[in-house]
Each structure stands twice: as C-alpha cells, then as structure tokens.
Amino acid sequence: WWCERGGCGNCPQPLYSILTEVGFLTVVSCSNPCILFFPARIYRCWHIMKNIVVLISGRGSNFKSIYETSVREYWEDRYGIKIAGVISNIADAAGLEYARSSGIPNCVVDHKQFPTREAFEKALIEKTEGYGADLIVLAGFMRILTFVFLDRYKGKILNIHPSLLPSFPGLHTHQRALDAGVRIHGATVHFASDVLDGGAIIGQAAVPVFADDDADKLAARVLTQEHILYPIAVRLCATDKVRLVGKRAKMDLEASKELAIL
C-alpha cells in the first residue's frame, strides 16, 4: 500500500510510505531520503490491489465461501486482494443473485450465443480483463476451457475437484469412490491445465468414508471441506505464496501445512 501523508518536514514533496503489518507508516522515499515512523493514521492510500474473478455456472457455494472468508478475514485490507467480479455462463445461475446482493460486479457470458468454444472464450477474456483479473477462480464453472483462455491466464486459474486427485478425475467421483472401496476421499484444488483435472495440485482436504455412506452423504462431507480448503488456496495463490513453476505448485512450509487438511 502506497500512502501519501503530506510533507515530511524536510521538503515540500508528498511523503510516500508503506503500511506495515505492525500498523505504522514507514517512509521509504521523498526528495530528501529519510526513514521515519508514524502512527498508522492514513490520510490517502492507493491500494496495489490484486483482483480475483470467479467463474460460476450454478449455485456458487464455493464462491460464497470464498467471499465470506474474504470479508471475515479482511482480505482487502490485510492482503490487498478482493473479488472484483463474478461471471456466469448461465443467466439464471443462483450464484449471480448472491453476487448482486453482496454488491459484487457480475455479468453473464452465455456460451450458447457463440459458434465455437474459442469465440466464447474470447468474449470471456474481454470480461475478465474488464474486471482487471489477476487470478481466475473456477467455482462450479461447467465449461471445459481451451488453450485460448488457458494460455491467457497460465498459472493463474484455480479449480476445485471433488476427489483426491489423481484418483477419480472427471464426473461421479463420490459414487466411484464408494465403488472402489476407498476409506479416504476428499477434495483437491489445482491449477487448471489442458488435461482435465490434471493440473498441478495446490492443496487437498481428506474425509473418511463410512460403511453406511451413499454418494449424497459423502458429497456433503466433502463439500464442507471444500468450503474450508478453497478460500485458503485462493488467498495463498493471490498473495503469491503458491506459484506454478513448471508442472508443480511451489510453496513454502507454512503454506504447505495450510493446504493439507486431514
């Protein structure tokens, strides 16, 4: 955060400062170099904000959990990140109503109005760029993305999948987990890639599988963990604590501990 607080006393130029975690303004430059400390009373600030754009197709429960976490944890003030827009390819997606009620800019890009996937994605990119997207979050977005979109935001697209990848990519994951007799199931956040559910794994949350489970019971248990895992992954990626390097997600020890939910 760059802040202007009037002159420093040594020169008539504005004093540009950084708000530190301990709540003080540290002067880093003016016409006469100096380092001073002031109480954290900010007169004017320009946030170096990173914008998250969420893509949905339905109810947007993961979008809702991300947004509510961002408000509860003061992401905009603490980390300089915010949800700048929500885009749906379905006009009556329930998640859009939640976005409207929360005051989040939103729009519809209906894939049925375009002759090809590529044409749809070019229109989608116009909207994401309009929201100044630094990070794309897929939250129940039911379209397979092509190179047009993936290349534009390489290493900046997150997806969540209801299984412990690489096990059970694709659809019907909960029933397939039951059919396979696994004792542990869960959810995975990963970078989107041109391989369906095959991008670099960012984080995972595991749940037990019980003898009386059916697909609905198991899905509900996994969804609860999705709502915990996805906001953590979004925050860490938006703040560059997790990055795509080659074909792997790179992170420090602290981030790795947050992203392993057992």
- What residues are annotated to the active site? 161
Question: How far apart, in Å, are the Cα atoms of 208 and each of 9, 218, 221, 229?
Answer: 63, 9, 9, 16
85, burial (CB in 10 Å: exposed 0-12, middle 13-18, buried 19+)? buried
Pairing of strands 106-108, 37-39: unpaired
Question: How far apart, in Å, are the Cα atoms of 4 and each of 21, 43, 75, 136, 190?
Answer: 18, 7, 22, 31, 39
Identify the DSSP state of 200. P
The answer to whether the CB of 250 falls within 8 A of the CB of 242 is yes
The answer to whether the CB of 52 falls within 8 A of the CB of 76 is no
Pairing of strands 44-46, 37-39: unpaired
- For 68, the enclosing helix (H) or strand (E) is helix 61-72
Alpha-carbon torsion (249, 140, 103, 113), positive or negative = positive
Question: How far apart, in Å, are the Cα atoms of 247 and each of 134, 191, 219, 241?
Answer: 20, 9, 29, 16
